[in-house]
Structure 1
Amino acid sequence: MTQKTPKPVEQTRKIVSEYFLSGVIIETVYDANTKQTSLAYLKNGQVTVAASYKTPEEGKLEPIPASNNLIKHGALIFAEKPASYQSVAKLITDVQIYIYRYVDISDHFRKIASYYILLTWVYDAFNELPYLRLRGDFGSGKTRALFVIGSLCNKAFFASGASTVSPIFHTLDTFRGTLIFDEADFRFSDEKNELVKIFNNGNVRGFPILRTAITTQREFDPRAFNVYGPKIVAMRKSFDDPALESRFLTEEMGQSSLRRDIPINLPDIQKIEAVALRNQLLMYRFTMLTTIKINESLIDPSLSPRLNQILIPLLSIIEDEKLREEIRVTVRSFDQKLYAERSSSIEAGVLEVLKDLYQQGKENSIPVSEVTTIFTERFSAEYERPITARIIGGVLRKRLRLVTYKSHGVYVLPATEKTKVDELCIRYGVTEREVDE
């Protein structure tokens, strides 16, 4: 009797989104009427929606089921199916009309928000991203704006300050979508610190957050959570960290009275309009993802490297040069504010002294005591306590990260640090940044 060889079991893997080097793009879609998820995919220029997708390498791919708690409760939203759009310009116009109908924000920010929505659908083509923020007191309309704008974003995940941070880590890592976060002003410092970690690590690819879980065997299980992706937040105040603040493009809410044509309560048609636009935006992803890339010619030498880094992805998908310049002007004002704050700091005063000493021909090592004497003569009236050589030495080593060493019984700044001092003078606004004409 011949024994039959058992048929190999087909491998099945649940996915949210995939992009293969062959050019195949796969995205999970959700039909609210049937309450079912499917896979929409682009292959050989053709778009198909099916229950699964088979690959020779990975076997059968299936979507995250609609029974997923986040999908079931509407905390995570998908497109329903890919839908054709007339042109990118027409799509942008339709998005701006939708936002204008339900939200009272400035014309300038509405344009930025519309392009940011597009960016969320192709963000994985870039390695750095800016964030969007709506800031204002209660009753200023920031939550309404957050919901209306967020409803068009790629795999939007809605959360609030009442949420614990742990599920945010897991959701961002699993779905790789857009975090829409309301009331980002956490009351408790430990929760706020965790949220700040997400924002600090989440705008640059390749910087996951490491957290440790305990297995059922009581063993420590370190895990990396990928939190990279677009984020839109609403909050009342600002973050304490200026570096984190520089990642946000911000709209100040409640600066004028509410337009009378905006409905107090969102009508049911808003959801229908949002679904229709999400469907077109999914098609935008299918047709544009492989063609979009960084346009390095858009780098603005008058901006700091950090701001250029986060702005270029957004500017690269904007075709309106006037809007590009408006965004640069908006961000430039933040850069100038940051320079102003730095230039009034004790670090800037120390750098000013060092700059003058170098201009006077100081080529050798500079004693810290000499820096202290000149600094005290110029700035002692601005400080309540005496400025000692120990304080100046701490500023040089701990804040400015400059090297000092002891020579003949006194601490000195070596001549080899001059290049670093020159760079720090530019960063702190002591020396004007050179801009090529």
Structure 2
Amino acid sequence: MNTDTPVPTPTISRLCADGTMIELLYDADLAITSLAVCRPSGKVSIETQVDLSTGERLVSYAPTNNLFTSGCVLLPSEVGTFDDKAELLEQVRAFIHHYVDLSPLYEDIAAHYVLLTWVHDAFNELPYLRFRGDFGTGKTRALLAIGSISYKPFFASGASTVSPIFHILDEFGGTLILDEADLRFSDATADLSKILNNGNMKGLPVLRTMTNRNRELNPRAFKVFGPKIVGMRESFADRALESRFLTENTGGRPLRPDISIYLPDAMKTDAQALRNQLLAWRFAARHTVGIDPNRLIAGVSPRANQITLPLLSLIDDGDLRDRIAAELVAEEARVSSERASIPDIAVLAAITEAAAVSPTAHIAVADIARRVSRKNSGSFENSFTPKAVGSIVRTKLRLPTVKSNGVYVIPNTARPAIAALATRHGLSADATDSTNATARGFVARSAKNARGA
């Protein structure tokens, strides 16, 4: 007979195979922790330990843990009451409106994002929430207020040591609240970028080099998936990383007169009460939410749909979904316009135009170079030779070139790939004139710099 006592496992949350949900509670006033347990039947109990059928015994973290006593990680103190999602959402929106000055649309987005954080593990991809602007424009206030009612918020900074961020995300999960995320020229910034690049999709841990007690190399995979709310002054250079954010640009209008310039103590009390209610909502909704493919947005890229669909799946208001869709379409148009100032896109626009003019012929690289130059008043004449264009075609656009009748061409067999690239970058034969007009300023500067060199 096995009389071994199970080894206790300190637990902050657990979703069991049978659907049982376990969440850590921390009461700062009483200095105690406990486990809130929601059974598949919906029955909720508060327990000091939970014995699983696997033989594992789950216990709560110690209430003296510095992560809790310092406020670095915030938790519910009890399981609150939840009756109606719309009513809870209105309370979340009112809390945000009281403490943070946001545009009306983004206020609605932020309120729904808070709900998303509490059920984020029901989805495979997630967007990030971002506040971008100069110092003194309310970024940190937004992070503190919205973060305080998110699921297991963990407050960090771009200046923080990165190692504990990896360990806490891996052990606790929850919502990373990251201020000053765009600090530059440091190893910490590179590691934070890995967290942001990998953390919006399940199954993409970050590998870090570690050694065991015998000094043997023992790399470890850190789980970094989860919602993230970020404050930064500028944008990331990585366009793929930029596509993960739903962004509010701060400081674009005068501060609302009813917004306090300091955070009152009441915010902590209000946030605690909301976290308790939101935990009750997680227990009620976690097994019923999921992706609704009917809420895909026409006219935006697959990436934009992939990132925003979890949020849209939680939004019941059709008018709000339409307003978010219109904003995303406008944002994609803006991004496409900016990308037109990149040489690769200028060349692709010329290829697309040439393909439309001669739908059956091979596309000569020299003709592409002439079109790029002509669209830009000849500014590319010296800097974008057929040889330079051929290099962009092969190395940047990944299109083949072959020699035909003594000249290099893009063969007809590449037309499906050209069409796919044009669609991906928002180009068409009709759009090439406007696209190249947008690129003209960059072209002129490039040629001028080339002549100066």
Fold-level match, TM-score > 0.5? yes
Q: Tell me what 2:239 maps to.
A: 242
Q: Post-superposition shift, 1:361?
A: 4.0
Q: Distance in 2 between matches of 1:355 and 1:141?
A: 44
- Compare 379-388 and 97-106 and name the one that shifted more: 379-388
1:33 to 2:29 alignment: yes
Match of 1:332 among 313, 329, 332: 329
How has the CA–CA distance of structure 1 residues 204 and 374 changed in structure 2, closer, same or farther, with 3 Å as cutoff? same
Q: Tell me what 1:10 maps to.
A: 6
Q: Post-superposition shift, 1:278?
A: 0.2
Q: Deviations over 1:325-367 (max 9, x none)?
A: 2212222222011111233432233223323333344546444
Aligned runs of 1:34-49 on 2, under 5 Å? Answer: 34-43=30-39, 44-49=41-46
Match of 1:106 among 96, 103, 107: 103
Q: Distance in 2 between matches of 1:17 and 1:372?
A: 59
Match of 2:212 among 198, 210, 215: 215
Q: Distance in 2 between matches of 1:396 and 1:91?
A: 53
Aligned runs of 1:112-127 on 2, under 5 Å? Answer: 112-127=109-124
1:21 to 2:31 alignment: no
1:171 to 2:168 alignment: yes
Aligned runs of 1:111-190 on 2, under 5 Å? Answer: 111-190=108-187
- Compare 215-224 and 40-49 and name the one that shifted more: 215-224
How has the CA–CA distance of structure 1 residues 408 and 28 changed in structure 2, closer, same or farther, with 3 Å as cutoff? farther
Q: Match for 1:34: what amino acid? A: L
Q: Match for 1:196: what amino acid? A: S
Q: Match for 1:308: what amino acid? A: N
Aligned runs of 1:53-64 on 2, under 5 Å? Answer: 53-64=50-61
Structure 1 unaligned regions, length at least 5: none
1:396–1:402 CA contact under 8 A, matched in 2:
yes
SS at match of 2:209: strand
Q: Match for 1:9: what amino acid? A: T
1:343–1:429 CA contact under 8 A, matched in 2:
no
Q: Deviations over 1:408-429 (max 9, x none)?
A: 7754423322111001112223
SS at match of 1:84: coil
Q: Post-superposition shift, 1:395?
A: 1.2
Q: Deviations over 1:96-153 (max 9, x none)?
A: 1112222222222211111100000000111111111112222212211210110000
- Compare 318-327 and 349-358 and name the one that shifted more: 349-358
1:11–1:58 CA contact under 8 A, matched in 2:
no
Aligned structure 1 segments of 4 or more residues deviating by more than 6 angstroms:
none
How has the CA–CA distance of structure 1 residues 352 and 256 changed in structure 2, closer, same or farther, with 3 Å as cutoff? closer
How has the CA–CA distance of structure 1 residues 109 and 6 changed in structure 2, closer, same or farther, with 3 Å as cutoff? closer
Q: Tell me what 1:71 maps to.
A: 68
Q: Post-superposition shift, 1:433?
A: 11
2:157–2:178 CA contact under 8 A, matched in 1:
yes
2:99–2:260 CA contact under 8 A, matched in 1:
yes
Q: Distance in 1 between matches of 2:42 and 2:196?
A: 36
Q: Percent identity?
A: 44
Q: Post-superposition shift, 1:209?
A: 1.1
SS at match of 1:276: helix
Q: Distance in 2 between matches of 1:360 and 1:254?
A: 47
Q: Match for 2:138: what amino acid? A: G
Q: Post-superposition shift, 1:66?
A: 2.7
How has the CA–CA distance of structure 1 residues 6 and 241 changed in structure 2, closer, same or farther, with 3 Å as cutoff? closer
Q: Tell me what 2:301 maps to.
A: 304
Q: Distance in 2 between matches of 1:122 and 1:308?
A: 19
Q: Distance in 1 between matches of 2:140 and 2:369?
A: 51
2:158–2:192 CA contact under 8 A, matched in 1:
no
SS at match of 1:100: helix
How well do the aligned residues superpose, as a CA RMSD in angstroms? 2.2
Q: Deviations over 1:69-90 (max 9, x none)?
A: 3223210111111111231111
Q: Match for 1:38: what amino acid? A: S
Q: Tell me what 2:393 maps to.
A: 396
Q: Post-superposition shift, 1:406?
A: 5.3
Q: Deviations over 1:34-73 (max 9, x none)?
A: 2222111111210011111111114211123333332232
- Compare 382-391 and 87-96 and name the one that shifted more: 382-391
1:348–1:429 CA contact under 8 A, matched in 2:
no
Q: Distance in 2 between matches of 1:342 and 1:292?
A: 36
Q: Post-superposition shift, 1:157?
A: 0.2
Aligned runs of 1:320-359 on 2, under 5 Å? Answer: 320-359=317-356
Q: Match for 1:120: what amino acid? A: T
1:375 to 2:380 alignment: no
Q: Distance in 2 between matches of 1:246 and 1:366?
A: 32
How has the CA–CA distance of structure 1 residues 146 and 390 changed in structure 2, closer, same or farther, with 3 Å as cutoff? same
TM-score with structure 2 setting the length: 0.89
Q: Tell me what 1:51 maps to.
A: 48
How has the CA–CA distance of structure 1 residues 382 and 39 changed in structure 2, closer, same or farther, with 3 Å as cutoff? farther
Q: Distance in 2 between matches of 1:183 and 1:326?
A: 29
2:158–2:180 CA contact under 8 A, matched in 1:
yes
SS at match of 1:163: coil
Q: Distance in 2 between matches of 1:409 and 1:58?
A: 75
Q: Distance in 1 between matches of 2:2 and 2:170?
A: 37
Q: Tell me what 2:269 maps to.
A: 272
- Compare 203-212 and 403-412 and name the one that shifted more: 403-412
How has the CA–CA distance of structure 1 residues 182 and 50 changed in structure 2, closer, same or farther, with 3 Å as cutoff? same
1:239–1:245 CA contact under 8 A, matched in 2:
yes
Q: Match for 2:334: what amino acid? A: K
1:428 to 2:425 alignment: yes
Q: Post-superposition shift, 1:373?
A: 4.0
How has the CA–CA distance of structure 1 residues 384 and 31 changed in structure 2, closer, same or farther, with 3 Å as cutoff? farther
1:228 to 2:228 alignment: no
1:30–1:66 CA contact under 8 A, matched in 2:
yes
